[in-house]
Structure 1
Amino acid sequence: MIVGSKLPHIGTSIFTQMTQLANQHGAINLSQGFPNFAIDQRLSDIVAKKVYENVHQYQPASGNPMLLQKIAALLQTSYRRDVNPGTELLVTAGATQGIFTAIQALVSHGEEVVLLDPCYDSYETPILLAGGKPVHVRMRPDYSPDWPAINNAVSSATRLIVINTPHNPSGRVWTESDFVALEQLLDQHPNLLVLSDEVYEYIAFEQPHVSVHHRAKLRDRSLSVSSFGKSFHITGWKVGYMVAPEPIMAEIKKVHQFLVFSVNSVAQSALAVYLDVVDVGALRAFYRQKRDDFAAMLSATNLKLLPCEGTYFQLASFGHLSQESDVDFAQRLVVEYGVAAIPVSRFHTDGTDQRHIRFCFAKDNETLMAAAERLKKL
């Protein structure tokens, strides 16, 4: 049987490839972005109690009403933004589902979506499936937005621009001037919307995270995506949420109801309670210490570390050690040194290779120390 493919160029993701290679060679896996330490004991206790409560049936499609109220309160505390829980919020099966749903709802055949490379690989696929056209714009070598190039890429056919700060994979964060430039871009293109991926919003280090929620000129033209999985190191729960003005959210909900209908009921109920006791502000210091500890460990290696201003990813340059491609170097790192990382070129649609690799430092210190000891042999 011949089966036609809507995504003929899509194969196994680099994350799966590197994890499989790590497993094959018994390597320490610092490639995929998931923590390996225990979740907050308070959250574990809440879940244990919820299992025995009557919370096992479908929730409303938009989300558990109590959780929606708590998310609205979180937005007010974090950003001084008031939202209507019933019309401007949506609980999603992880941030990736939120991104997919939003693009399916808002992008029509032939419309363009601007993506800033390097970028998360789940941005492009829903654009293609919607019949849209991804327009990739390369960031500057220091991973800051190239605004002249972005302005040249946006046209009357552009429906969305996808932004991500703190940025995966680079760990850079947007500046005030970046947001001013974005606002000026929207002024020039009245039909352009912003899809803001803010899954690392509570993991920004030297300066507080700046969000579209802060910007009065952006709120009515933006939809944001957040992740409880990233914030509370519960990535396997696959629970996130979206914020958007009512007219935009109404269209997103139309797709959401036929894609997943509603999200895991026990997880939603537990998170609604947990948001009353957790201090999201403490996440910044927790992951900053992880970053600093890992950087100190790697200081004894021959790798050169790039600035890490947010997320739980650290980029390292190896160009002074080898002229190999970053893919070849990352594979050799697994086979010969027993540590798995991600080659950053795989986040570029054109394969741009600056000889940078990405490590995830959201691991316990024992794991990070063991990896650093192996990397000293480089």
Structure 2
Amino acid sequence: MALPTIVSKLPDVGTSIFSVMTQLAQECGAINLAQGFPDYDPPLALQEALTRHARTAGHHQYAPMPGLPRLREAIAAKTARVYGVPAPDPATEITVTCGATEALYAVLAAVVHPGDEVLVLEPAYDLYGPAIRLQGGVPVYVPLTSPTFRPDWDRVRAALTPRTRLIMLNSPHNPSGAVLSAADLDTLADILADTNILVLSDEVYEHMVFDGQPHGSVLQQPALRERAFVLSSFGKTYHATGWKVGYCVAPPALTAEVRRVHQFLTFAVSTPTQHALADVLAADPTHDQQLPAFYQPKRDLFRELLAESRFELLPVPGGYFQLARYARISTEPDVAFAQRLTREAGVAVVPVSAFYHNGHDEGLIRFCFAKQDTTLRAAAERLRLL
């Protein structure tokens, strides 16, 4: 009997480069600076809160589909406090999701129709393109130029067509760490003023902006806020990427569309986890404000440790990744170099070509410095030998 023929919706997509490099690191016993996760635990108060709620009767069943009311209320208060804006309505403008990844997919599934174009500033997180294509949408890539990876708004304007449905932003940017300014957001608002184009703003690294600079959220630009989905990540903010809890802030009409999809995608997020996050948001409302002072020393230490190496380090205004050129070490393609670095030097990294739909290779690799100082020192000791 013949087996059914399967026609893949993503025939050109394999296993994520982050999973590939992490597995290679495990096989080789390498220090993993590839995948973007810390090697230290969440705050003790958050762990204790989770334990407490895991032992609380009634906290093991489904949470309400949009998220626990008390957590949404805490998110609303945090948003107003951090960004100095009117608090979003917890009932109609905030949805708790299974990480920002689910929020992003739910947004695209909710608003992108077959044939719609979605502008993506590239390099971009590798989820963006496939998620757009799975909705029948057409990714339209607008390049960001190294070493600053700043948007060229004239190129963005030129890329718009009557079929453009949405533009995707990411600030602080993965992989480069570039940060959008208030002036950037004002410019984008002007570009979109007479259009029906929506905005998806991926702001999961919002609390990791350095050198005294603020994070410019789309929520602070009124003309953009009324057409935007803004995504945040508790996993990034609380060093708990494995908890997979994020949220989406959007106007009521847009939130309603996200929830139409969310209810059939994951329906609800872990109940005790939501209670734990609500507890720590209330008990320590300044945690997010402490993150720049927590991460900037890690950035500075890693850069100092590699200052005498043959890597050329690019600027890192935000996020927790360091890009580096390796032209003084090798002329290999970045994938080959990253694999050899993992096998021979014992340090796993991500080749930046993985962030381009066409594998564009500028001879750059990405390090994650969200690690303990001892990890960064051990990795740098190996990298300086190259």
TM-score (norm 1): 0.98
2:304 to 277, 290, 296: 296
Partner of 2:233: 227
Q: Which deviations, in whole Å up to 9, do the C-alpha atoms of 1:84-142 show, x marking residues without a partner?
A: 10000000000000000000001111111000110001111221111111111111223
How much has 1:321 moved relative to structure 2?
2.4
Partner of 1:236: 242
**Kept in 1: contact 2:117–2:137 (CA 8 A):** yes
1:353 to 346, 350, 361: 361
2:14 to 11, 18, 27: 11
- Distance in 2, Cα, partners of 1:326 & 1:10: 18
Find out whether 1:259 has 2:265 as its counterpart: yes
Which structure 1 segments of 5+ residues have no match? none
Equivalent position SS for 1:113: strand
Find out whether 1:374 has 2:377 as its counterpart: no
**Kept in 1: contact 2:229–2:249 (CA 8 A):** yes
1:210 to 202, 216, 225: 216
Find out whether 1:93 has 2:101 as its counterpart: no
Partner of 1:277: 283
How much has 1:326 moved relative to structure 2?
1.1
- Distance in 2, Cα, partners of 1:154 & 1:335: 44
Q: Which deviations, in whole Å up to 9, do the C-alpha atoms of 1:133-170 show, x marking residues without a partner?
A: 11111112231112222111111100000000000000
Equivalent position SS for 1:119: coil
Partner of 2:81: 77
1:342 to 347, 350, 370: 350
How much has 1:284 moved relative to structure 2?
1.1
Letter in 1 for 2:338: A
Q: Which deviations, in whole Å up to 9, do the C-alpha atoms of 1:9-41 show, x marking residues without a partner?
A: 110111111111111111111000000112111
Partner of 1:62: 66
- Distance in 2, Cα, partners of 1:293 & 1:266: 36
2:115 to 95, 100, 110: 110
How much has 1:175 moved relative to structure 2?
2.3
Equivalent position SS for 1:316: strand
Which residues of 2 match residues 299-314 of structure 1 at below 5 A? 299-314=307-322
Find out whether 1:30 has 2:33 as its counterpart: yes
How much has 1:221 moved relative to structure 2?
1.0
How much has 1:305 moved relative to structure 2?
0.8
Partner of 2:24: 21
- Distance in 2, Cα, partners of 1:175 & 1:257: 34
267-276 vs 37-46, greater mean Cα deviation: 37-46
TM-score (norm 2): 0.96
Q: Which deviations, in whole Å up to 9, do the C-alpha atoms of 1:154-201 show, x marking residues without a partner?
A: 11100000000000000111123321221121114x210110000000
- Distance in 1, Cα, partners of 2:76 & 2:374: 38
Partner of 1:151: 157
- Distance in 2, Cα, partners of 1:255 & 1:273: 28
- Distance in 2, Cα, partners of 1:120 & 1:83: 27
Q: Which deviations, in whole Å up to 9, do the C-alpha atoms of 1:312-339 show, x marking residues without a partner?
A: 1011111232211111111111111110
Find out whether 1:45 has 2:48 as its counterpart: yes
Letter in 1 for 2:10: L
- Distance in 2, Cα, partners of 1:88 & 1:336: 50
RMSD over equivalenced CA pairs, Å:
1.0
Which structure 2 segments of 5+ residues have no match? none
- Distance in 1, Cα, partners of 2:244 & 2:124: 20
Find out whether 1:185 has 2:191 as its counterpart: yes
Equivalent position SS for 2:168: strand
Partner of 1:195: 200
Identity among equivalent positions (%) equals 48
Letter in 1 for 2:75: I
Off by >6 Å, runs of 4+ in structure 1: none
Partner of 1:136: 141
- Distance in 2, Cα, partners of 1:105 & 1:320: 46
- Distance in 2, Cα, partners of 1:213 & 1:254: 22
The number of equivalent residue pairs is 377
- Distance in 2, Cα, partners of 1:175 & 1:88: 24
- Distance in 2, Cα, partners of 1:167 & 1:129: 23
Equivalent position SS for 1:275: helix
Equivalent position SS for 2:279: helix
- Distance in 2, Cα, partners of 1:125 & 1:302: 35
91-100 vs 46-55, greater mean Cα deviation: 46-55
- Distance in 2, Cα, partners of 1:56 & 1:156: 48
Partner of 1:126: 131
- Distance in 1, Cα, partners of 2:292 & 2:221: 22
Letter in 2 for 1:145: P
- Distance in 2, Cα, partners of 1:257 & 1:372: 45
Find out whether 1:324 has 2:329 as its counterpart: no
